Amino acid sequence: MSAGSFGPSCDYTLNLQRLLPPARKISDFFIHFWKEKNTIKPEWKTAYVYKKPSNTEDCYWYMSALDADGKFATNISRTLLWKPEDVRDILSPQKNRTSNLFIMCGSPTDLLEVKNGSKSADSSEFLFVLIDLYNDVYYTNMSSLQEMKNVLVLTMPNSRKYTINSDLTDNNTMNDYMAAYHDSVLHIGQVMREIAAKNQTEIQQMDFVNVNYFRNTSFNGTAGDYKLDVHGDRDANLSVIYTTTGNEYKVLFTFDTEYNQTKLVDKAPSFIWGKRLPEYKPDTGPALQDVIVGVLAVTVVVVATIAFIFYRQNRKDRLLRKRWSHISPDLISLLEDSELNVISLKVIALEAPLSV
Q: Both 160 and 250 in a single domain?
A: yes
Q: Both 312 and 181 in a single domain?
A: no
Of 231, 259, 208, 176, nearest to 10 by C-alpha is 231
Q: Both 280 and 310 in a single domain?
A: no
Q: Both 219 and 317 in a single domain?
A: no
- Flag whether 344 is in a domain: no
- Flag whether 175 is in a domain: yes
Instruction: Tell me the pTM.
Output: 0.78
Cα–Cα dist 218/197, whole Å: 19
Q: Both 47 and 94 in a single domain?
A: yes
- DSSP states of 169-199 as a string? TSTT-B-HHHHHHHHHHHHHHHHHHHHHTS-
Cα–Cα dist 23/103, whole Å: 14
In the chain, the number of structural domains is 2
User: Please, are residues 184 and 222 in contact by the beta-carbon 8 Å criterion?
Assistant: no
pLDDT tens profile 122-134: 999 999 999 999 9
Q: What is the mean pLDDT of the chain?
A: 86
User: Please, are residues 132 and 154 in contact by the beta-carbon 8 Å criterion?
Assistant: yes
Q: Is residue 261 over pLDDT 90?
A: yes
- Sheet containing 237-243: which strands, arranged edge to edge? 77-81, 46-50, 101-105, 127-131, 151-155, 237-243, 249-256, 261-264
Phi and psi of 114, rounded to 5°?
-70, -45
User: Mean pLDDT across the stretch 261-282?
Assistant: 95
Q: Both 197 and 316 in a single domain?
A: no
Q: Both 295 and 187 in a single domain?
A: no
User: Mean pLDDT across the stretch 102-119?
Assistant: 92
Single-letter amino acid code for the residue at 351: E
Predicted pLDDT at 300: 74
Predicted pLDDT at 282: 86
Q: Both 24 and 151 in a single domain?
A: yes
**Could you list the residue range(s) of the whole structural domain that residue 314 is in?**
291-324
Distances (CA, A) of 235 to 23, 30, 135, 160, 338: 12, 15, 17, 15, 98
Q: Both 251 and 299 in a single domain?
A: no
Cα–Cα dist 309/314, whole Å: 9
Cα–Cα dist 201/193, whole Å: 16
| Domain termination site, one of 256, 285, 314 | 285
| Domain termination site, one of 259, 285, 311 | 285
**Domain CATH for 124:** 3.40.50.2300
- Flag whether 130 is in a domain: yes
First to last CA, the chain: 147
Q: Both 135 and 154 in a single domain?
A: yes
Cα–Cα dist 95/90, whole Å: 10
| Domain termination site, one of 231, 263, 285 | 285
Q: Both 120 and 41 in a single domain?
A: yes
Q: Both 231 and 313 in a single domain?
A: no
Single-letter amino acid code for the residue at 209: V
- Flag whether 3 is in a domain: no
Q: Is residue 105 over pLDDT 60?
A: yes
- Flag whether 352 is in a domain: no
